[in-house]
Amino acid sequence: MSRQPELVIANATVVNSHGRQEAHIAVHDGRIAGLVDAAQPVPAADRTIDATGKLVIPGGVDGHCHVAQVTGRFRTLDDYRTTSTAALWGGTTTIIDFGIPRDAQETPLAAVLHKKELATESRCDVALHGAVVSWDETVPWQLEQLAAEGVRSVKMYTTNRGTTMADGGTILKVMREMVRLDGLAYIHAEHDPIITDCTEQQAEDGRIGIEHLHRTRPELAEEISVKETLAMAEYTGAPVYFVHQSTPGAVDLVSQARERGLQAYSETCPHYVTLDDSVYASTFPEWFACCPPMRSPETVTALKERLVSGAIHTMSSDHSCYDLSQKRERTDDVRAMPHGLPGVETRMPVTFTAMASAGATVEQFVSAFAAEPARINAIPGKGRIAEGFDADLVVFDPAEERTVNGAAMHMGTDFSPFEGKALTGWPAVVVSNGRVVLDADGFHDPGAVGRFINRNGFRQHQSAASEPTQLPAAAL
């Protein structure tokens, strides 16, 4: 360090996904200038935060957020200022949003450029995924432009016919482009004919209200779609990432594909390892309207086991900020109501509580919360506490317990699906690009300082991100 650091987090137990060490963390110019062994004196700094007795983990990377999302006649109620503020309150310092064409006229490129413009209001760093709904001869050129903008992943839906669904031919061709452009295919996998038929049958039987949501989208529909998509990934050689996997069968298919040599990844969300389908028989079933729906208690347990075993790589919020008035407009028909749950702010404590209860270490939590989302999404400088990495840091107290009060949170809505739950593992201090944005005095709005992250190519990043230095691991 040539000059005095702006910030030192002293006496920290630094926990990365690969191990932990006792150190003082020096921050200079928004980056980690160095880790000083805790046996050495605390370096002088403009500001020193003492983390004695606390853990310090990398700032969270949430790979799946929908900001200002338009779906049919519904629009989520947050903007970048709100979502990024809520993210920081929850220990997440990087969010990845989606540029999804809002209608048949908007191109994938226009959708991304629109989101990039909105993102200038962000308080934290932002990256974007693209999305393709239908193939035409301009798509390869548009994907090249996206790659040049640092948007190296493209989402496609195998369901939602008539809105976001891409047919098999489109998915196959986009996968080929991802191989050519060193990108990553992002897939929402649910078999559309089964979902459509099952939903129609439920409607005919008069069981189409929100209390029946889980019966309209069977586990089988998710698994058959994962299987079909993996075959296309194998055929094209494209790396593939499955969003919000909600069944152990779907996760196992991805694990087996990896054993065959595919680059295939599993994401799940906090609600799928925490809530089961009994929520649809509760007083407020509309709090839990999302696709896929919550599953049986047995499925939840088996999914959580796969999170702890490492078969699931990332834990993302799938943040979608509707409020209760939108959720309650059409509770009589799951086809007409907006799906998606607010979650960018609660991702840390819900994930930590679920993983700790299943015997995971803090290192494993850091892996799903920050390290793997950064690695798989090819985000440079994130997901690890090491010299030269961005100074995105969370002083974290695994013993701190709070009860969720949706109305008191900072997302653009009036409820939380985790309302009333006692959760452990909340952020005490959050540092984003070297700025202390949350501490004992509360939130310090840094202004619209969030940066747009130009992501690396997928293969380029995986080969450059060599194995991290092994540090001595310790028990929880």
Residues near Zn ion (CB under 5 A) are 318
Q: How far is the CB of 25 from Zn ion (least distance, A)?
A: 33
Distance (Å) of CA 373 to CA 267, 279, 315, 351: 9, 29, 8, 14
Token output for 184: 């990553």
* Shortest Cβ 265–Zn ion spacing (Å): 15
Q: Which is nearer to Zn ion, 123 or 188 (CB)?
A: 188
Residue type, 7: L
To Zn ion, the closest distance from the beta carbon of 453 in angstroms equals 19
3-state secondary structure 58-101: ECEEEEEEECCCEECCEECCCCHHHHHHHHHHCCEEEEEEECCC
Minimum distance of Zn ion from residue 66's CB (angstroms): 6
Omega prior to 468 cis, within 30 of 0: no
Residues, the chain, total? 476
Task: Determine the residue type at 265.
Answer: Y
Tokens coding 30: 């928004």
Q: Which of 190/318 has CB closer to Zn ion?
A: 318
- The counts of H helices and E strands in the chain are 14, 20
Residue 128 or 394 with smaller CB distance to Zn ion: 128
Note whether 109 and 115 are within 8 A (CB): no
Nearer of residues 10 and 184 to Zn ion, judged by Cβ: 184
Task: Compute the distance between CA of residue 274 and CA of residue 142 in angstroms, rounded to an integer.
Answer: 39
Closer Cβ to Zn ion, 57 or 100, answer by number? 100
Dihedral-angle region of residue 91 (phi above 0 means left; psi in -120 to 50 means alpha; beta otherwise): left
Closest CA to 291 of 158, 134, 431: 158
Phi-psi region of 166 (alpha: psi -120 to 50; beta: other; left: phi over 0): beta
Distance of closest approach, residue 193 Cβ to Zn ion, in angstroms: 21
Q: Which is nearer to Zn ion, 318 or 363 (CB)?
A: 318
Instruction: Tell me how far, at minimum, the Cβ of 186 lies from Zn ion, in Å.
Output: 10
Nearer to Zn ion, 74 or 396 (CB): 74
Give whichever of 14 and 344 is closer to Zn ion, judged by the CB atom: 344
Residue 138 has phi, psi (to 5 degrees) of: -85, -10
Q: 12 or 337, CB closer to Zn ion?
A: 337
Cα within 13 Å of Cα(197), Cβ side: 8
Spatial contact of 51 and 396, defined as CB atoms under 8 Å apart: no
Q: Which is nearer to Zn ion, 97 or 318 (CB)?
A: 318
Instruction: Name the closest residue to Zn ion (Cβ).
Output: 318
Backbone phi, then psi, for 437, in 5-degree steps? -100, -20
Smallest separation (angstroms) from Zn ion to the CB of 64: 6
Minimum CB separation of residue 92 from Zn ion in Å reads 16
- Describe the strand order of the beta sheet including 125-131 as a list of residue ranges: 314-315, 264-268, 240-242, 184-188, 153-157, 125-131, 92-98, 60-66, 319-320
Which residues share a beta bridge with 429?
A: 395
Residue (of 195, 142, 196) closest to 170 by Cα position: 142
Shortest Cβ distance from residue 379 to Zn ion (Å)?
A: 18
- C-beta of 318 vs 372, nearer to Zn ion: 318
- The gap between the terminal CA atoms of the chain, to the nearest Å, is 32
Strand partners for 126: 95, 452
Distance of closest approach, residue 415 Cβ to Zn ion, in angstroms: 18
Smallest separation, CB 292 to Zn ion (Å): 11
